[in-house]
A and B are shown apart, each in its own frame.
Chain A
Amino acid sequence: MPTVAMPDASAPAVAVRGLVKHYGAVQALKGIDLTVKCGEIFGLLGPNGAGKTTLFSILATLRTPTAGTACVFGRDVTIERDAVRRSMGIVFQEPAIEQRLTGRDNLLLMGLFYQLPAARARKRAAELLDHLGLTEAADRPARTLSGGQRRKLELARALVTDPSILFLDEATLGLDVDARRVFWGEVRAIAAAGRTVFFTTHYMEEAEIADRIALIDSGQIVALDTPRALKARVGGGVIRLQTEGDDQARAWLIERGLKPEAGGPGLMLVHDDPAAILPDLLRHLPVKVLRAEVHEPSLEDVFLKLTGRGLEMEGAAAPVRGPGRGRP
């Protein structure tokens, strides 16, 4: 894939300052600050309703902020909308290809909408389809492709205009694990070619591929760092317990001077050496343990520690729900 010329080498790819968005009385974003460097893979991780899609839509020039600013390559998303639009490719949660037309036609139409010269659009479409292994499927109606192929086609659609930054909003929703792995493999290749990638997800294992991650909850960034640094905040390791009486077990742990995290289903205990204390816990806990688990800290643990809530678990939906999310 060809490398991409940066529109403004000195400006960060994304710069968000004090961004606020209200929907009537609902505060979807409560003052977001973040900077994405050029060439970075940046992940925005949070539960449904945390404000991911709202922030995404503002960066994608589809919504205007109530207050604050957002710039893409130094260009304000509300003031220099067209320049911003030209510099980015977007993959939405929902399909954004015309299902009845062929994959190739979809790409060529995109070229038309971005006013690419026809010959260049054709060449670029062929390259992308080839690169993504879609050449064979490219001349069938898009609706006949598999889910994974269709997502790759979305990626091709976003890339046909040769954007400097790629925005992905929950781009792998509904894909199986294999198709997701293939998809992220492609995204990594795109980033390696010099493009900036900004993505949202609520799958923590997807967020791991990011250079840096912002954890968002209830319209606020609760942490922003590399995956490794975020996990280091949790410390050595994590014990998760399911017992017949979590409250009783929690009280007992606190009595023993241990610090179980508040909230979440079951019990979560962060410790420097979890494997060493687990046998002791199992022997002495006054309630029956149904399930015990020791693992390296995951982003899920980080999120739970910071917010007291899980990312993907049931009931994780935050109280703030931006309109346009989760509608039937």
Chain B
Amino acid sequence: MIRGIYAVVVLDLKRAWLDRARLLTGLAQPLLYLFVLGAGIGGSSRMGGPAYQRGIFPGVMGLSLLFTAVFMAISIVFDRQIGFFKAVLVSPLPRAAIALGKITSGAAQAFIQGLILLPFAPLVGIHLGIVNTAEMLAAMVLASMTFSAIGVAVASQFTSTTVFPIVSNTIILPMYFLSGALYPLAMAPHVMQVAAHFDPVAYAVDLMRGALLGTYFFPPLLSFAVLVGLITLLSWLGVRVFSRGEDDSVLGATGFRWRR
């Protein structure tokens, strides 16, 4: 099983390496949030630009991880249209390894994207010491896994890539905005604070904010437990969905479906 997951991850990373330019273009969005939106909103608030930028850095990291992971998960839909996948399907590789491999490779790619963003932290006044960097990296791993698991769970429900904007606008963006990534949850209206308790992105962002800035909204142990629990649950779901695709009646290169 582990070797199967490894095989899927190697395949995905080899493919991603061909698109390595995306690592740089993927940096554009978070930097815009940080240095344009952040400077603008911060400058016009009582907080002041630098303090606001510092405050949203973990949230912008969340943005980068979330969108990279979800975008990678969408590749599952593409995969069904790629012939190579058929060769994978007739290999002795367990379906569960495909699901878990997809989650792992999405997380790995998100994490790498995050690593490229992290060195910008000192520019907004965040000191990167050994301890808080280690904490941050751990939080990023957890966040990447969570977002990738969410992405795979969502993507495995769809057979067409055209749904990505819809998924993004109806599921991912609300989760992101509600998470407190771009504002302190502690100062948000009570309703939003309550709602944030049901938003996995909020826990992930909060862990990263705590690691870098030292202030937590949720108890860190709770966040940790919620994220690990969610990763487990969604992985289990993913394995189930992928395993259901065993007898597939529409196996053409154009219309492969996991589900009957």
- List residues of chain A with CB under 8 Å of any chain B CB: 23, 57, 60-64, 82, 85-86, 88, 90, 92, 94-98, 100-101, 105-106, 109-110, 112-115, 157, 323-325, 327-328
B248:A94 contact, CB within 8 angstroms: no
CB distance from A323 to the nearest CB of B (A): 5
Interface residues of B in 222-260 (CB under 8 A from A): 246-255
Determine which of B15, B93, B247 lies in contact with A64 in the assembled complex, contact meaning CB atoms within 8 Å.
B247
A96:B83 contact, CB within 8 angstroms: yes
Q: Is B91 in contact with chain A by the CB < 8 A criterion?
A: yes
B249:A63 contact, CB within 8 angstroms: yes
B92:A82 contact, CB within 8 angstroms: yes
B253:A85 contact, CB within 8 angstroms: no
CB distance from B73 to the nearest CB of A (A): 19
Interface residues of B in 131-152 (CB under 8 A from A): none
CB distance from B79 to the nearest CB of A (A): 10
Q: List, in ascending order, chain B residues with CB within 8 A of A85's CB.
A: 90-92
B249:A323 contact, CB within 8 angstroms: yes
Q: List, in ascending order, chain B residues with CB within 8 A of A105's CB.
A: 14
- In the complex with contacts A63-B247, A85-B90, A106-B84, A94-B3 CB distance below 8 A: no
- In the complex with contacts A62-B248, A328-B254, A97-B91 CB distance below 8 A: no
Minimum-distance CB pairs A-B, first 10: A94-B253, A112-B7, A113-B91, A96-B83, A98-B84, A96-B87, A64-B247, A95-B83, A82-B92, A85-B92
A60:B90 contact, CB within 8 angstroms: yes
A327:B255 contact, CB within 8 angstroms: yes
B10:A109 contact, CB within 8 angstroms: yes
Interface size on B, residues (CB 8 A): 32
B15:A100 contact, CB within 8 angstroms: yes
Determine which of A57, A63, A96, A327 lies in contact with B84 in the assembled complex, contact meaning CB atoms within 8 Å.
A96
Given contacts A63-B247, A94-B83, 17 further A-B contacts (CB under 8 A): A23-B249, A60-B90, A85-B92, A92-B83, A97-B87, A98-B82, A105-B14, A106-B84, A110-B87, A112-B7, A113-B91, A113-B93, A323-B249, A323-B250, A324-B255, A327-B250, A327-B252
A57 to B252 alpha-carbon distance, docked (Å)? 11
In the complex formed, the residue of A with least CB distance to B247 is A64
A82 to B92 alpha-carbon distance, docked (Å)? 5
A86:B92 contact, CB within 8 angstroms: yes
A-B contact count (CB 8 A): 91
CB distance from A150 to the nearest CB of B (A): 11
Determine which of B18, B87, B88, B250 lies in contact with A324 in the assembled complex, contact meaning CB atoms within 8 Å.
B250
A94 to B250 alpha-carbon distance, docked (Å)? 14
Q: Is B123 in contact with chain A by the CB < 8 A criterion?
A: no
Q: Is B89 in contact with chain A by the CB < 8 A criterion?
A: yes
CB distance from B215 to the nearest CB of A (A): 45
In the complex formed, the residue of A with least CB distance to B18 is A100
Can you give 25 A-B contacts (C-beta < 8 A)?
A: A61-B90, A63-B247, A86-B92, A90-B90, A92-B86, A92-B87, A94-B252, A95-B83, A97-B87, A98-B84, A100-B15, A105-B14, A109-B10, A109-B11, A109-B14, A110-B87, A110-B91, A112-B3, A112-B11, A113-B7, A113-B88, A324-B250, A324-B251, A324-B255, A328-B254
Q: Is B6 in contact with chain A by the CB < 8 A criterion?
A: yes
A64:B246 contact, CB within 8 angstroms: yes
CB distance from B184 to the nearest CB of A (A): 44
**A86, A88, A95: most-surrounded residue (chain B CB, <10 A):** A95
- In the complex with contacts A64-B247, A97-B84, A324-B251, A114-B15 CB distance below 8 A: no
Q: List, in ascending order, chain A residues with CB within 8 A of B11's CB.
A: 98, 109, 112
